Each structure stands twice: as structure tokens, then as C-alpha cells.
Structure 1
Amino acid sequence: MTADAQDGVVVFHIGVRINNFRAVRSWWPVFTAMPRMLEELSQDRGSGLLGYRLLLGGPRLMYVVQYWESQEKLLTYSADQGKEHRPAWAAWNRRVREGRGKVGFWHETFVVPAGAHEAVYVNMPEFGLGEALGVIPVGRRGDRAADRLKTA
């Protein structure tokens, strides 16, 4: 199977690294804010969030991979004063400064044009981009990775 992805997509990674487990005040707010944001986005079909996956990168690193319709929708959500993100981001920034290195934060944004992404799933439930967009048989998009990676 392959992801049913005809258009471009934005892939957004966001995560936290706990540098000091005892500094709960520095990192606990992420565990309460991120699920609220993901729930808010998941309930709003027009938000632009196509799907997400929560991941662990070892005992200190937690992150979310998100798939978005467009960079405009991602940026609109991040700046919207009436949504969960802005107040959570302001509070997070204050805590990070106060925590003096007890918690780390990172995010990466990848704007991927149509035809510049490829996916294959063998003996897997829907996952990643395929979970976000649905899956189709590989042959519909080409039998080889090179066929599926042709840009428009």
C-alpha cells in the first residue's frame, strides 16, 4: 500500500527533551497542553491538520509528527489568539526561561510539494502519511518508488 497523496503536504515535528526529570514544573505543562491542542485540531475539520502521531525518542524525548494541508493553515493555527496554542506557547516560553535548561524544545517544518513524497506500507496498519491521507494499492501511484516520486 501507499499513501493516497496527490497534493503537497506539510510535515511538522514538535518535541520536548526532559533534561531534568525533577523539574516537573518545567515540562509537565507540555503533557497537558499538547493533548488539548491535538484534540482541538482534530475536532475542527477545517483546521488543516490531516493527522498526527505521538512518538517517544527514548526516556527523555517525546515528540509529535503532524501532517498538514498547507503551511498557511499551520501558521494560522499557531498565531490564532482564540485557540489553545498561543496561550500555551506564551506559558511554555516563560517556563523554559525560568527553568534554565531543565527542558529542551524543538520543532521542524517541511513543506513537501506534490510528487515529492513517497510511502510504502507492507503488513502495516495505516501509519504516518498513509494514516493521515488514507492508503491505496501501490500500483495506482506506480510500482516503483521512482514512479511515485515524480514531481508535477
Structure 2
Amino acid sequence: MFGNPVVAGRTTAGAEGEVVVLLIGMRVNHFWAVHHWVPVQLAMVRMLRELRKDKSRGLLGAVLLTASPRTYYVVQYWESKEKLYGYAHAPDAFHRVAWAAINRKERKGKARQHVGLWHETYVVPEGAYEAIYSDMPAFGLAAAHGQVAVERRGKSAKERFAHRSGEGAGA
């Protein structure tokens, strides 16, 4: 079987408390400069593999997406912003090696003209996120935090937004 099994009916994400989301990606500015952008793609794959192997680093889940033929990004869900920052600055993590290489190329004036890099980090407080899935395998927030029956959080979006950890279904 490929991927997670489909869960029949309506479900929601089992997230409790705040949610940390990192969007990180790259844009190919010059397709012909393969030797500049392929290493960036491979570095992201390597970092995700490293994070999946070591759950203690805090990555809960990730989804790789394509926005256009030029733009690729990963939606990442983290245990906390502290764990995210911890990984970004860990001397033993591949991120540090990759970031140092990008900085060296930037100082030489070579990196940014061929490959654009970006990230956005969101710390979303409880009550400021909501999710619903219908006949879906665990995906996105639900893949990162678990998938639960929608009734555990409320039947409407308004009820799910109002859900607070430890209060039970609906508000």
C-alpha cells in the first residue's frame, strides 16, 4: 500500500496547543544553471531525511509541493519554535553545512542570481487554526499531529476554532 490509508468520513487534526508551521522553498531563476539549483534541492531532501531519522529534533511532518515549474517548497510542522531554531543552529545538523555553502556562494556573488531561497515561519496559537478532511488519509496538519473524528473538535468550523485542549468536543 502506498502512503497512509484513507479514513472514511469527516476528520480533523488532533493538534493541541500552538502549532508551528515552516514554509521553506526555492525558486529556479535560471533553468540552465542546473549546477546551482540541483544542489539546493538535494540539500532539502537530505535535511528532511536527517529530520525524519531523528524524531527528537522536532519535525512532526512535512509535505513537498510544487507551486510552478520554477518554485518548490516544503510545508513543515514542528513540535515548537525552539526545536525548529535548535535544528537550524545545531552544529551537528546538515542544515548548518548547507547554509554555510549558500553563504559562501552569496559572498562570491553567485548563489542568489540563479536560485531564490525563502522561508516563512508561523507560530499559530490554539484557537487560530482549524482543519477538516473528508475521506482522506492523514495529510498536512493531521499527518503531523494525528487525525481524529471531527466530532471531537466540533461539527462546524466555528466550533473547531473554539476548541481548547482538555475541554472535549465543541465549545
- TM-score for the superposition, normalised by structure 2: 0.84
Q: Deviations over 1:39-80 (max 9, x none)?
A: 111111211111000000110000000000110000010001
2:20·2:77 contact (CA, 8 Å) conserved in 1? yes
The equivalent of 1:91 in structure 2 is 101
1:145 to 151, 157, 165: 157
**C-alpha spacing 1:44/1:100, structure 2 compared with 1 (3 Å):** closer
2:102·2:111 contact (CA, 8 Å) conserved in 1? no
- TM-score for the superposition, normalised by structure 1: 0.94
Give ranges in structure 1 of 5+ residues lacking alignment.
none
The equivalent of 1:122 in structure 2 is 134
Give ranges in structure 2 of 5+ residues lacking alignment.
1-10, 165-171
Deviation at residue 100 of structure 1 after TM alignment: 4.9
- Aligned length, in residue pairs: 152
Higher helix share: 1
Deviation at residue 21 of structure 1 after TM alignment: 0.7
More divergent stretch after superposition (88-97 vs 4-13)? 88-97
Q: Which runs of 4+ in 1 moved over 6 A?
A: none
1:110 aligns with 2:122: yes
Q: Percent identity?
A: 53
Separation in structure 2 between the aligned mates of residue 100 and residue 46 of structure 1, nearest angstrom:
32
1:26·1:95 contact (CA, 8 Å) conserved in 2? no
1:54·1:65 contact (CA, 8 Å) conserved in 2? yes
Separation in structure 1 between the aligned mates of residue 111 and residue 141 of structure 2, nearest angstrom:
35
Separation in structure 2 between the aligned mates of residue 115 and residue 6 of structure 1, nearest angstrom:
10
Structure with greater Cα Rg: 2
1:132 aligns with 2:124: no
Tell me the secondary structure at the aligned position of residue 26 of structure 1: helix
Separation in structure 1 between the aligned mates of residue 152 and residue 112 of structure 2, nearest angstrom:
52
Corresponding letter in the other structure for 1:144 = S
Query: What is the RMSD computed on CA atoms of the aligned residues?
Result: 1.4
